[in-house]
């Protein structure tokens, strides 16, 4: 396949004639920049550390060309490789001995940087998964003024269009500046707060034998690049706050903040869903709010979202009572939500 509107089912003339629905926002940059961005590649989803040999510098045009060329047929998406588009700090973080997994981190520990939110330095592009809540044509119409690359994901089907949007930023954004604009970004793109996890890795374009005939890849060059720095920023506390100890049965005064913070998490596993239920019960967070968290921060193909997991049993098995504060903080770190959110 080649870059161009025809890959998406549209001709260049049709795309030029689309009825644009442009957001009412000043996110416009006068010209497009062809500067290098850092692209980190991963051999599997289990890789938790950055390997220096797998960091590539390329322009967005080069990234798009490679992504289109590498689009391949895989019967299982887990057989594919992954990427993200950010830079990480230079100082290595040596994993603790009891957490070192030779299978997922095969390189010497002294050379490794952990792939986590707190180690991100700058973000070069926004990556957003669209799972049926927006059609491809609607996405092109909505974001046509901006440069972006969109491609079908492995679960794409005739009944439910699934694709990934990659939108380069006009200027790289630091992790701190990104965090301050996370809420504004979610509101601007109309997505929930679990979106835009900056350290998350995404699969390169792939398809299966069942949907090979409907795969697509489309590069919209646009007139401008998205400028995230023009979005409103919110004040975020960067102090490490220990939740207070409270008597069993009382509602934790930080319950709302705990809930808001967990909303920014990602990749909730089944094994951690029970721990999250224990935290919610212990802090006075309702079962309904726990279910909202589970739905938003678990993977789209996780048993927690597909209905295979028994959420009623998980909630019933969770005990309520005194809970050590470090349990809350540990799960927050596991879910990449290591910065407190305060609901205004």
| Within-domain flag for 325 | yes
Under 8 Å between Cβ of 342 and 293: no
CA distances for 128 relative to 22, 165, 186, 293, angstroms: 18, 5, 10, 19
Answer yes or no: do 20 and 159 share one domain: yes
Distance CA 183, CA 264 (A): 10
CA distances for 57 relative to 71, 111, 118, angstroms: 20, 19, 22
* Paired sense of beta strands 120-131 and 162-174, if any: antiparallel
Answer yes or no: do 213 and 89 share one domain: yes
Total domain count for the chain? 2
Answer yes or no: do 221 and 280 share one domain: no
pLDDT by residue for the chain (344 residues), tens only, comes to 333 333 443 434 333 333 333 333 334 444 445 789 999 999 988 888 888 889 999 999 999 999 999 999 999 998 999 999 999 988 554 444 333 333 333 344 446 788 888 889 999 999 999 887 889 999 999 999 999 999 999 999 999 999 999 999 999 999 999 999 999 998 898 887 767 888 889 999 999 999 999 999 999 999 999 999 999 998 776 654 444 444 545 667 888 889 999 998 888 988 889 889 988 888 888 899 999 999 999 887 788 888 888 899 889 888 765 566 778 888 888 898 867 876 64
Give all strands (DSSP E) within 65-109, no chain letters. 72-73, 82-84, 86-88
Distance CA 176, CA 338 (A): 12
Answer yes or no: do 49 and 193 share one domain: yes
| Within-domain flag for 236 | no
Answer yes or no: do 206 and 264 share one domain: no
| Within-domain flag for 321 | yes
Answer yes or no: do 99 and 175 share one domain: yes
Answer yes or no: do 167 and 284 share one domain: no
Answer yes or no: do 274 and 170 share one domain: no
Answer yes or no: do 55 and 201 share one domain: yes
The pTM (predicted TM-score) of the whole model is 0.62
Reported as type and span, the H/E element at residue 171 is strand 162-174
Distance CA 312, CA 305 (A): 13
Answer yes or no: do 328 and 212 share one domain: no
Note down the domain range covering 326. Answer: 255-334
Answer yes or no: do 188 and 322 share one domain: no
Answer yes or no: do 33 and 143 share one domain: yes
Last residue of a domain, one of 230, 246, 267: 230
| Within-domain flag for 344 | no
């Amino acid at each position: 396949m080649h870059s161009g509107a025809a890959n998406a089912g549209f001709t260049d003339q049709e795309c030029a004639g689309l009825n644009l629905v442009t957001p009412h926002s000043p996110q416009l940059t006068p010209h497009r920049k062809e500067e290098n961005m850092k692209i980190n590649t991963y051999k599997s989803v289990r890789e938790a550390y950055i390997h220096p040999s797998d960091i590539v510098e390329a322009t967005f045009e080069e990234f798009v060309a490679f992504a289109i060329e590498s689009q391949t047929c895989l019967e299982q998406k887990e057989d594919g490789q992954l990427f993200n588009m950010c830079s990480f700090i230079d100082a290595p973080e040596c994993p603790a001995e009891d957490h070192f997994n030779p299978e997922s981190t095969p390189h010497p520990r002294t050379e490794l940087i952990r792939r986590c939110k707190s180690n991100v330095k700058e973000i070069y592009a926004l990556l957003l998964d669209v799972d049926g809540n927006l059609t491809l044509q609607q996405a092109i119409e909505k974001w046509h003024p901006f440069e972006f690359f969109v491609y079908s994901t492995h679960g794409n089907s005739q009944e439910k269009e699934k694709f990934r949007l990659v939108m380069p930023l006009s200027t790289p954004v630091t992790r701190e500046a990104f965090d301050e604009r996370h809420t504004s970004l979610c509101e601007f793109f109309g997505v929930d707060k679990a979106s835009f996890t900056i350290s998350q890795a995404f699969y390169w374009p792939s398809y299966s034998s069942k949907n090979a005939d409907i795969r697509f890849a489309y590069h919209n060059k646009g007139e401008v690049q998205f400028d995230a720095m023009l979005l409103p920023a919110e004040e975020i506390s960067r102090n490490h706050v220990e939740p207070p100890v409270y008597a069993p049965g009382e509602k934790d005064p930080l319950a709302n903040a705990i809930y808001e913070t967990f909303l920014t998490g990602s990749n909730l596993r089944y094994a951690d869903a029970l721990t999250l239920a224990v935290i919610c019960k212990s802090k006075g967070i309702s079962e309904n709010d726990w279910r909202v968290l589970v739905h938003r921060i678990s993977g789209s193909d996780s048993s927690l979202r597909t209905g295979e997991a028994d959420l009623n049993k998980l909630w019933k098995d969770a005990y309520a009572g005194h809970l050590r504060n470090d349990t809350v903080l540990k799960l927050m770190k596991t879910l990449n939500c290591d910065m407190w959110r305060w609901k205004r």
